[in-house]
Chain A
């Protein structure tokens, strides 16, 4: 449910590093709490986002929630599949349901995030 190779924020987003590119999405806990996701609003490629700043919105049948970026940097890619078929966020939150990719500005920001073993107890 919470892969070891990811880093987690207390706002229930995850980060997967690939070189200096951070792939970002929401956790299983987040998508289960939200329920069926019906709409995802993501920023334009090329915009900058600060660490822990809002980068978009996610709407489920229950509520609209803000999305917060676990790391800061320039947004280099957004997931069109998540916009066109929001159900992928429920189905594969760590795979096809990713949301944005950010060019990491400062690698030390990763130290502000949790590993799987630290994140999971916060969900109790």
Chain B
């Protein structure tokens, strides 16, 4: 047998396929405690197939997998609405300090005063940044923050014996989590239209707002990456009928130090620490989605909330709390990372974050607008929504362009969202990227537009140079193979 050599060949075998009977990665020491018989051993099985591999094999398998991954540490990652910014390594170093890493959520408060003080300080900072001083760090993700916020809205109305309010009004441009969270919280969803400028249709909102309105959920800036020019009118319409305004803080990266949501008439918001505040993201999570409210609503916050008392710092339960929404206190080590980020930058630094995020997005928009349609032809905030409608007419879809970007080492933008934009490509460069990187992206996008006519097959069949090329997503979804089998 001849072995053919290909430098850089990847061993594609799954861990199960590397298994050799009897091989071990770890040997347990002899037991030094008395043996116990299981009360019921019938659930023990020996027919379960598990990989038997050496420790080195495990390390190689996962190391190679990790190298195949696109990540912010390796590639430009302009995934719109996700704020894939640099995660400073000092955040990780600080969260690994023994006094912060080696503590337990059930330790008595008096033995972890520094940790609770850190949570209190982070609450205060997030309250200051959003203008909504009541803060709970408990929610573990953006959608859970939304859910907690909607529970607070319901609790507020119920406490006023105003329980007929069962409607959440949500724009047609909203993140899909908004209607999902509202349904989870027991609210009926009513959709308000966007106008032809991409703003919430004020007339339509006025028609829909009434005595049944519990809450209006608004993303600020909008999912089109746009400032909502009628924001004060929108929040007034809702307040005039007795409803509350919820702001989806997914796009908070555009507002730091520039606008406080509370000043716009927002009553409740969440923030994704894993977006705006540089904590790990996606598969590298866990996420964190603190919820912020007005003073009036603070008594409904989910527990625990860190408080300072005469006897020191405590984890308290607000007077009319909606309760726990998960185990323990949220993601503590993520809170540490976000706190490190805020303290490293300070108010001035945070303001530059948003300014640079906005400038970067507008730079890309200005340099591509002659080749790609815009969802809205005006200055954007921290992200720009392009449309590949022109390219689609010439035979190449937004999906193909997104796949072609991978060949150039650029992660695909968010595609086909917001759903009100045809062939949407949502680009969020963040403040982290240099002008050189932005120029490279712009040049690549312009070249792909040329390829639509000069070499359409290059775009249709992309990616060409990655470990896996174009995936058959339809078959994968129609006939998914979810379980490893020996043959």
Contacts and interface: CB of A to CB of B under 8 A. Distances in A.
Interface in A23-39: 35-36, 38-39
B416 interface: yes
A58 to B, nearest CB: 12
Contact of A38 (B415, B419, B477): B477
Contacts of A85: 478
Interface residues of A, number: 11
A96 to B, nearest CB: 16
Nearest to A84: B478
Interface in B395-424: 399, 415-416, 419
A38 B477 CA distance: 6
B478 A38 contact: yes
A63 B474 contact: no
B75 to A, nearest CB: 23
Interface residues of B, number: 8
B416 A86 contact: no
A86 B478 contact: yes
Given A38-B478, A86-B478, A87-B478, A61 B419 contact: no
B47 interface: no
A36 B472 CA distance: 10
B68 to A, nearest CB: 22
Nearest to B419: A63
A87 B473 CA distance: 13
Among A39, A61, A63, A85, residue most surrounded by chain B Cβ atoms (within 10 Å): A61
A59 B473 CA distance: 12
B419 A36 contact: no
Contacts of A38: 473-474, 477-478
Contacts of A86: 478
A62 interface: yes
Interface in B362-419: 399, 415-416, 419
Nearest to A39: B477
A31 to B, nearest CB: 12
A89 B478 CA distance: 13
Main secondary structure of the interface of B (DSSP, over half): helix
B23 to A, nearest CB: 39
Contact of B416 (A36, A39, A59, A62): A62
Interface in B403-457: 415-416, 419
A85 B479 CA distance: 10
Nearest to B479: A38
A39 B419 CA distance: 19
A106 B57 CA distance: 68
A61 B403 CA distance: 14
A71 B478 CA distance: 29
A38 B478 CA distance: 5
Contacts of A39: 477-478
A61 B397 CA distance: 13
B471 to A, nearest CB: 10
Contacts of A61: 473-474, 477
B474 to A, nearest CB: 3
A9 to B, nearest CB: 18
Nearest to A86: B478
Interface string A70-89: 00000000000000011100
Nearest to B474: A36
Most central of A36, A59, A85 by chain B CB within 10 Å: A36
Nearest to B398: A62
A39 B416 CA distance: 18
B61 to A, nearest CB: 29
Interface of A: 35-36, 38-39, 59, 61-63, 85-87
- Of all A-B residue pairs in the complex, the 3 with the closest CB atoms, nearest first, are A36-B474, A38-B477, A61-B473
Given A35-B399, A59-B477, 9 more contacts: A36-B473, A38-B473, A61-B474, A61-B477, A62-B399, A63-B416, A63-B419, A85-B478, A86-B478
Interface of B: 399, 415-416, 419, 473-474, 477-478
15 contacts: A35-B474, A36-B473, A36-B477, A38-B477, A39-B477, A39-B478, A59-B477, A61-B473, A61-B474, A61-B477, A62-B399, A62-B415, A63-B416, A86-B478, A87-B474
